[in-house]
Amino acid sequence: MNTEVLLHTLQNAPEASSQSALAGRLGFSVGKTNYILKAVIAKGLIKVERFVSSDNKLGYRYVLTPSGLQERIRLTEQYIELKKREYEQLMAELEQLRGL
């Protein structure tokens, strides 16, 4: 699984009310989202909890585990560093073009 997909999943899963809602946030089909969730759950980054007090007994929520939170932090830092490098490269290219 690509790191951007993993980061996006860790960011959005806790706020999603269903797999369908998460699929919409991620921009994937429900089937692909289910596949991603199973992989992330198997890695121990997210756990699934039932809504005990909900009228909908099939309702679930996705909760980051402590290792999931650490992974989200690590991936966010990595993503920021990557975007900083891309920004610096673009600025250097822009300066070079302006100098022509």
Stretch 47-70: mean pLDDT, rounded? Answer: 80
Query: In Å, what is the CA distance from 23 to each residue of 13, 50, 94, 100?
Result: 9, 19, 37, 46
pLDDT at 1: 80
Q: Count other C-beta atoms under 10 Å from residue 32's C-beta.
A: 13
Minimal CA–CA distance to 41: which of 74, 64, 15? 64
Stretch 32-49: mean pLDDT, rounded? Answer: 95
pLDDT at 57: 56
Domain total of the chain:
1
Share of the chain above pLDDT 90, in %: 80
pLDDT at 15: 92
Domain span including residue 87: 3-99
Long-range contacts, stretch 85-92, CB < 8 angstroms, 24+ apart:
none
CATH at 76? 1.10.10.10
Tens digit of each residue's pLDDT (9 = 90 or more) over 73-86? 999 999 999 999 99
pLDDT at 53: 58
